[in-house]
């Protein structure tokens, strides 16, 4: 929302009414916010390992364990003034009684435990190097979740309680989940200057604590209506990765690497709507996290390294990959549920972080000799590093034209153009914005004075000062314009220019309208990557 400040901009309406235009959209209101939040997280880690060598260090066996004791607390109060006591009698100070804390309120404190038992075996045999590992991970959501499952007053549905008991095992008074994670890494020479390598491994990622514990305490259930409840039976997300490649030592100064990689993410956390009973016994809909989606990445990477004596080192790498899945984050379906939208059929589409092409190059020139370069004394004891990146642009979901809004004066449908997201689920993140290109330059010059090393450096990021769009205008497929004129006459002249069109929920400065209180996306400083940035300094080493 926008706060109107003096002097206000008037807008003449109908029937003699005069309105004022909303404020700029970005403001400092002195620290008043609709959300009061507090949290803390503490972690205590214990780790022990034992290593034994066999056959003259050709075989290395490692056993170990790791345990992490966490302590989390989370407090959220939305609009905390709602439900605050009201002074009934100013003379006596009598206040009204209330049991409500804000519009929505949630508090929880949980102490989960996670850890692992692992074994790895590193084997060397006639050029072959193999790392074989096995890891048993365990996770206990903690007493807070265990008690919520057994408490009949908690809002958890029955199927979650049953599933939690089936999928966990009780140990030392707590309920644990276990998962077996293998890992294999092998490299062996196929020729004198060629090495083939293969990597395979499983890894996990725990769900965010708020997905597990939110809204489970029945004591606070009657004090607010939370939009979602936690799921103690959530499983960690699992990544399964494969990689196979070849390292080719062409010469003592040239090397080529080729690698193919796969990465599958299972038990990806998503959101569904379920019915639970509120404090009055009514059936109400709540957003509920579950393990249901998946994502996958496939790709190939080529890299080439060239060295010219000890002076110059050049490297270039080309990466092509595709990342696809059913949903980008666990909040995709949550936003649809919150907006009462119909969630379409599961369609595998590109993910927002998918960048098909990624090309990187670098040059490192280092000179430190008894004689300066070209006989010029300052050209000695210095390093110059130049790097460049060319990458596919940001993915976005295209918008389509739906007509025009009603004119606030005449009522005719000739006002701001209406652009809405395409309804076809297969079009989600189907388009790619402008490509990125950036160059960075680092230079350092040093001088030895006795035992003291004095060096000066300069670092320049985005050397060419390119505009790399991070947030895409889904109407035009490019970054948001930021070169709007100031006068209303010039702004009106741009109404016929489609390159300035924006989505319907974004404020359009070409159409002055009292009802346009959306945020002006064109003023967002995060629209583009950081422009040219120069940093320099001195180092003194004793």
The pLDDT value given to residue 340: 44
Report, as ranges of residue numbers, the positions in the chain whose pLDDT lies below 50.
Answer: 1-2, 222, 334-345
Neighbouring CB atoms inside 10 A of 519's CB total: 15
> Token pair of 236, please?
């960690």
DSSP 528: B
**β-strands 128-140, 94-95: how paired?**
unpaired
The pLDDT value given to residue 242: 95
Please list the residues that pair with 236 across neighbouring strands: none
Is residue 428 assigned to a domain? Answer: yes
Is residue 499 assigned to a domain? Answer: yes
Domain of residue 525, residue span: 355-542
Q: What is the DSSP string of 277-299?
A: E-TTS-EEEEEEEEEEEEEEEEE
The number of residues in the chain equals: 542
Is residue 450 assigned to a domain? Answer: yes
Secondary structure string (H, E, C) spanning 92-142: CCEECCCCCCCCEEEEEEECCEEEEEEEEEEEEECCEEEEEEEEEEEEECC
Please list the residues that pair with 272 across neighbouring strands: 288
Give residue 329's region: left, alpha or beta (phi > 0; psi -120 to 50). beta
The pLDDT value given to residue 25: 61
Is residue 30 assigned to a domain? Answer: no
**β-strands 283-308, 228-229: how paired?**
parallel
Is residue 88 assigned to a domain? Answer: no
Cα torsion 400, 406, 407, 410 to 10°: value is 150
The Cα angle at residue 498 between residues 496 and 502, in degrees rounded to 5: 115
**Domains: count for the chain:** 1
Q: Which of 423, 432, 415 is nearest to 514 (CA)?
A: 415
The pLDDT value given to residue 3: 54
Please list the residues that pair with 183 across neighbouring strands: 133, 201
Is residue 2 assigned to a domain? Answer: no
Is residue 347 assigned to a domain? Answer: no
Q: Which of 253, 234, 51 is nearest to 145 (CA)?
A: 234
Is residue 328 assigned to a domain? Answer: no
> Token pair of 167, please?
């999928």
- Residues 6 or more apart whose CB falls under 8 angstroms from that of 390 comprise 357, 358, 359, 360, 435, 436, 437
Q: Classify 491 as helix, strand or coil.
A: helix
Question: What b/e sequence results for 479-497 when a residue is b if at least 16 CB atoms lie within 10 Å of its CB, and e otherwise?
Answer: bbbeeeeeeeeebeebeee
For the chain, give the longest Cα–Cα distance.
Answer: 97
Distance, CA of 92 to CA of 383 (rounded, Å): 78
The pLDDT value given to residue 253: 92
- Asked whether the beta carbons of 96 and 86 are under 8 A apart, the reply is yes
- Asked whether the beta carbons of 532 and 463 are under 8 A apart, the reply is yes
Please list the residues that pair with 319 across neighbouring strands: 301, 358
Give the DSSP H or E segment for 489: helix 488-493
Distance, CA of 206 to CA of 138 (rounded, Å): 11
DSSP 523: G
> Token pair of 180, please?
């077996």
Distance, CA of 236 to CA of 208 (rounded, Å): 10
Neighbouring CB atoms inside 10 A of 10's CB total: 11
């Amino acid at each position: 929302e926008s706060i109107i400040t003096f002097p206000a901009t008037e807008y003449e309406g109908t029937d003699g009414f005069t309105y004022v235009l909303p404020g700029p959209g970005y403001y400092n209101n002195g620290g008043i916010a609709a959300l009061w939040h507090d949290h803390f997280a503490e972690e205590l880690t214990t780790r022990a390992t034992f290593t034994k060598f066999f056959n003259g260090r050709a075989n290395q066996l490692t056993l170990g364990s790791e345990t992490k004791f966490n302590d989390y607390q989370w407090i959220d109060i939305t609009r905390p003034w709602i439900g605050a006591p009201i002074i009934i009698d100013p003379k006596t100070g009598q206040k009204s009684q209330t049991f409500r804390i804000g519009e929505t309120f949630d508090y929880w404190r949980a102490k989960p435990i996670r850890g692992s038992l692992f074994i790895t075996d590193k084997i060397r045999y006639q050029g072959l190097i193999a790392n074989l590992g096995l890891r048993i991970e365990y996770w206990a959501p903690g007493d807070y979740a265990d008690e919520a499952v057994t408490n009949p007053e908690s809002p958890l549905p029955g199927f979650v309680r049953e599933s939690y008991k089936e999928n966990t095992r009780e140990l030392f008074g707590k309920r644990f989940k276990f998962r077996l994670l293998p890992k294999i890494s092998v490299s062996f020479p196929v020729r004198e200057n060629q090495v083939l390598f293969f990597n395979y491994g499983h890894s996990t990622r725990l769900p965010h604590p708020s997905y597990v514990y939110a809204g489970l305490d029945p004591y606070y259930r009657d004090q607010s209506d939370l939009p979602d409840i936690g799921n103690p039976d959530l499983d960690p997300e699992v990544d399964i990765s494969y990689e196979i490649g070849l390292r080719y030592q062409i010469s003592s100064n040239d090397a080529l690497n080729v690698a193919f990689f796969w990465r599958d993410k299972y038990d990806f956390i998503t959101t569904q709507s379920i019915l639970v009973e509120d404090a009055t016994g009514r059936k109400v809909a709540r957003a509920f996290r579950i393990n249901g989606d998946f994502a996958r990445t496939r790709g190939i990477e080529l890299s080439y390294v060239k060295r010219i004596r000890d002076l110059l080192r050049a490297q270039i790498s080309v990466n092509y990959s595709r990342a696809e899945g059913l949903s980008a984050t666990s909040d995709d379906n949550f936003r649809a549920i919150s907006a009462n939208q119909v969630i379409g059929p599961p369609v595998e589409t590109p993910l927002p972080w998918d960048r098909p092409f990624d090309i990187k190059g670098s040059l490192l020139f280092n000179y430190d000799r008894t004689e300066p370069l070209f006989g010029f004394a300052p050209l000695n004891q210095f390093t110059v590093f130049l790097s460049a990146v060319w990458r596919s642009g940001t993915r976005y979901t295209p918008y389509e034209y739906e007509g025009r809004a009603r004119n606030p004066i005449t009522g005719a449908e000739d006002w701001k153009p209406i652009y809405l997201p395409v309804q076809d689920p297969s079009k989600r993140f189907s388009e790619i914005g402008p490509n990125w290109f950036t160059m960075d330059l680092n230079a350092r010059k040093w001088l030895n004075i006795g035992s003291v090393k004095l060096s000066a450096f300069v670092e320049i990021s985005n050397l060419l000062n390119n505009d790399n769009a991070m947030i895409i205008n889904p109407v035009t497929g490019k970054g948001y314009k930021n070169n709007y004129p100031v006068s209303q006459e010039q702004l009106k002249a741009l109404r016929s220019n489609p390159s300035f069109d924006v989505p319907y929920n974004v404020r359009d400065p070409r159409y002055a309208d009292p009802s346009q209180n959306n945020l002006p996306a064109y003023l967002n400083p995060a629209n583009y990557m950081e422009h040219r940035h120069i940093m320099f300094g001195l180092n003194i080493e004793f």
